[in-house]
Structure 1
Amino acid sequence: MNCELEKPRHVVRKFHSRPQHEGVGAVVRRSIGRFELRYFDPFLVLDEFSVAAPAGFPDHPHRGNLDSIRSKGAVMHEDFEGHKGLIKAGDLQWMTAGRGIVHSEMPAGQGLSKGLQLWVNLSSKNKMIEPRYQEIQSKDIASTSKNGVTVRVIAGESMGIQSPVYTCTPTMYLDFTLKPSAHLQQPIPSSWNAFVYILEGEGFFGLEKSGPVGAHHLLLLGQGDGLEVWNRSSKMLRFVLIGGEPLDEPVSQLGPFVMNTDEEIDQTVDDFQYFVNGFEKARHWRSEAMLD
Structure 2
Amino acid sequence: MPEENNSCVGLNEPRLVVRKFLAKPQYEGVGAIVRRSIGRFELRYFDPFLVLDEFSVTAPAGFPDHPHRGFETVTYMIQGSVTHEDFEGHKGTIGAGDLQWMTAGRGIVHSEMPSPHGTQKGLQLWVNLSSKYKMMEPKYQEISSKNIAETTKDGIKVRVIAGEALGTKSPIYTRTPTMYLDFTLDPGTHLQQPIPKPWNAFIYILEGEGVFGQSKSSASAHHLLLLGHGDGLEAWNKSTKLLRFILVGGEPLDEPLVQFGPFVMNTQEEIDQTIEDFENYTNGFEKARHWRSESGLSLDF
**Counterpart-to-counterpart distance in 2, 1:173 and 1:152:** 9
Deviations 1:235-281 (A, max 9, x none): 00000000000000010000010000111000000000000000000
Structure 2 residue identity aligned to 1:191: P
From 23, 29, 51, give the equivalent of 1:23: 29
Kindly report the root-mean-square deviation, in angstroms, between the aligned alpha carbons of the 2 structures.
0.7
Q: Which residue of 1 aligns with 2:278?
A: 272
C-alpha separation in 2, matches of 1:289 and 1:163: 33
Match of 2:63 among 51, 57, 63: 57
Deviation of residue 209 (structure 1)? Answer: 2.7
Amino acid at match of 1:266: D
Equivalent of 1:187 in 190, 194, 213: 194
User: Sequence identity, in percent?
Assistant: 73
Tell me which residue corresponds to 1:36: 42
Determine the structure 1 residue equivalent to 2:216.
Answer: 209
Match of 2:157 in 1: 150
Shift of 1:290: 1.1
Is residue 233 from structure 1 mapped to residue 243 from structure 2 by the alignment? no
Distance 1:92 1:209 in 2: 34
Query: Partners in 2 of 1:164 and 1:46 — Cα distance?
Result: 22
Counterpart pick for 1:196 among 198, 203, 210: 203
Q: Structure 2: which amino acid aligns with 1:162? A: K
> Partners of 2:265 and 2:183 in 1: how far apart?
32
In 2, distance between residues paired with 1:93 and 1:290? 22
Q: Which of 75, 93, 97 is the matching residue for 1:90? A: 97
Partner residue of 2:295? 289
SS at match of 2:216: helix
Report the Cα distance in structure 2 between the residues aligned to 1:159 and 1:129, rounded to whole angstroms.
Answer: 33
Q: Which runs of 5+ in 2 are unaligned?
A: 1-6
Match runs of 1:75-224 below 5 Å: 75-210=82-217, 212-224=218-230
1:22 shift after superposition? 0.1
SS at match of 1:209: coil
The alignment covers a number of residue pairs equal to: 290
Q: Could you tell me whether the CA contact under 8 Å between 2:60 and 2:116 is conserved in 1?
A: no
- Asked if the contact 1:74/1:109 (under 8 Å) is kept, the reply is no
Residue type of the alignment partner of 1:111: G
Please report how far the alpha carbon of residue 208 of structure 1 lies from its aligned counterpart in structure 2 after TM superposition: 1.3
Unaligned 5+ residue runs, structure 1? none
CA distance in 1, matches of 2:230, 2:52: 23
Which residue in the other structure is 2:250 paired with? 244
Give 1:153 shift: 0.4
User: In structure 2, what is the Cα distance between the partners aligned to 1:160 and 1:206?
Assistant: 22
Q: CA offset at residue 66 of structure 1?
A: 0.4
Secondary structure of the residue aligned to 1:271 is helix
Distance 1:29 1:183 in 2: 28
